A and B are shown apart, each in its own frame.
Chain A
Amino acid sequence: MLLASDLPPVRPMYANHAVVSYDAGRSGISSLTSGHPIGEVKVGPTKYLFRVPSRGYFLPAGPSSPGEFYVDCFSPDIVGRGATPSAAQKNWEEELHREFQRLYAMRDWEMDATDKRRWQRISEWIDVDLYRNTTPMVGREIGRINRMAAHKKIIQWVDGRRERFELSRVPGQFAAFTQGTWFEAEVERDGLTGSFRRILCAQKIDSLDALSLVSPDDNRLEYERTDHLPEATL
């Protein structure tokens, strides 16, 4: 039996053995150094779903090295370190989260060869489309309470969009905002459709109504500047 010197990465289609071989004794008592198959990783509100569950292993600390937790398909790029299996696994999950977010934020042309290889491996194992579609967008938006009805309010955002929402989808202090109140809010929207989900936090701001009264004529100085630009001869 000859083992290749350059081991290629593990592919999801070969990983079923990790799922079917339940790494526990007959009694169901499990080893401390081999975790249960990992099907998803959650770090705070962020969730990564694996295409195929994969098993992680813990290697206790050596005389000069800390304990290590690793999962075959992400090894050796992502390794968790810690004194106990659970601490090392937690560190591994955070490392995976950090690496995913770093590469997810990059455009293809921004990646070097190593980044491309790592991203390819991550996207082979983690369902990136599902992540994109199920992860909400969170951003700061400015709006005004336009109309109020029982248990419902209508917001007009500064870009002109109007949205109706229920009080159950906003933080408590928002209920006291009256008609015409301007506010700045952290808004969570559906990652795929952009539809409103909820307001995470909001605070009142000074009225921006005066800005909306500004007519194009009041900006004539701007127009004059551009109207009197010298014409270029090409």
Chain B
Amino acid sequence: MSIHLNKPPIVEAWIGFTVAPAPDMANWNDRAVFAQVIQFLEDHVAEFPEQEMLRQESFTIEKRAPEGMPKQGRLESRVSLMRAIDREKSHAIQIAADVFSYHLLRAGDSYPGFTKLRDASLEKLQSYAERFQPQELTQIELHMIDVVAIPRRPDTNCRIEDYFAISVEIPPAPFGALDDFSIQLQLRGATPEDRLHLHFHLLRAGSNADEFRFRIKWDMACPVKLSLADKEQITARLDLAYRHLFACFQSMFTPQGWQLFEPVETVPPCS
């Protein structure tokens, strides 16, 4: 028996892979590595035609002489990551220093589900491995972002506990109703080494004032030591992480909150 959500709150999901680079691999900002990254994106240009580069800029602080004028800080600029997006704007790949990720953005109501995300990301990972020849996989990450919308009634405060099982107890007096909140939790994952970071906070409306929007961001990091050729082991590790994350997701809601997603229990077809 499995659960299907007719209205999944998910807006983005991605799987990230951190690798130990090939011994002769140069630094990320090296021209040769950059050329390889460009070539990798070119290999996938038919599927991901829109390409973007994220440049990170940072100031360095420099001391000034007493009574002297402050000096202009030196602006350091480096490429943080490269990304490529498909025509439908629903899938993307990103490459940073020794990291590769595959993203899935909800388009309309459709969310293809974790299995498709996993299979597609593993397929692209093989392509990444062929190009960059990393030694091994050192970390798997699973990220999900949900936006839960709760109808807003005029002049009626919203009780978080009616919808969410995660909350903070605050004495009603003298605190009263909240204007905003943000809860961050660091939790264990499916194994003692895994870490799950949960960020649950209010979104300030957007264009729709008829509902409260809550954003839940799940970041699961699983340290591993796996060969990139061992697809079976990687799949098993990802499935383990996902089952734990889904169990946490389900436990986060009260029965009333869970009904927002219109869950349906389905029986998988006999094999």
Query: What is A's interface to B at a CB cutoff of 8 Å?
Result: 1-8, 10, 14, 17, 21, 23, 25-34, 57, 59-63, 67-68, 70, 72-73, 75-76, 79, 83-84, 86
Contact = CB atoms under 8 A, between A and B. Distances in A.
Given A2-B157, A2-B172, A5-B156, A29 B101 contact: yes
B120 to A, nearest CB: 15
Contact of A72 (B54, B154, B203): B203
A99 B92 CA distance: 33
5 contacts: A1-B178, A4-B177, A8-B179, A21-B184, A28-B81
B102 to A, nearest CB: 10
Contacts of A84: 50, 85, 89
A3 B103 contact: no
B143 interface: yes
A7 B81 contact: no
Nearest to A62: B108
Interface string B208-233: 11001001010101000000000000
B109 A76 contact: no
B237 interface: no
B133 interface: no
B177 A3 contact: yes
A31 B109 CA distance: 20
A46 to B, nearest CB: 20
Contacts of A79: 206-207
Contacts of B170: 1
Contacts, number: 149
Interface of B: 11-12, 14, 16, 18, 50, 52, 54, 80-81, 83, 85, 89-90, 92, 94, 96-97, 99, 101, 103, 105-109, 139, 141, 143, 145, 147, 152-161, 167-170, 172, 176-182, 184, 199, 202-209, 212, 215, 217, 219, 221
Nearest to A10: B204
- Determine the main DSSP class of B at the interface with A: strand
A14 B107 CA distance: 33
Contacts of B107: 60-61
Contact of A26 (B80, B141, B157): B141
A23 B182 CA distance: 13
Contacts of A67: 89
Given A2-B157, A5-B156, A28-B99, A59 B167 contact: no
A25 B221 contact: yes
A79 B213 CA distance: 15
A23 to B, nearest CB: 7
Nearest to B143: A25
Given A1-B159, A26-B141, A75 B215 contact: no
A5 B158 contact: yes
Q: What 3 A-B pairs have minimum CB-CB distances, sorted nearest first?
A: A4-B177, A1-B160, A72-B204
Nearest to A23: B217
A3 B172 contact: no
A27 B215 CA distance: 21
Contacts of A75: 203-206
Nearest to A81: B207
B179 A4 contact: yes
Contacts of B80: 28
Contact of A31 (B85, B143, B152, B159): B143
Contacts of A26: 139, 141, 219, 221
Contacts of A5: 152-158, 177
Nearest to A64: B108
A75 B202 CA distance: 12
Contacts of B184: 21
A67 B89 CA distance: 10
Contacts of A60: 11-12, 89-90, 105-107
A91 to B, nearest CB: 12
Nearest to B54: A30
Nearest to A6: B155
B100 to A, nearest CB: 8
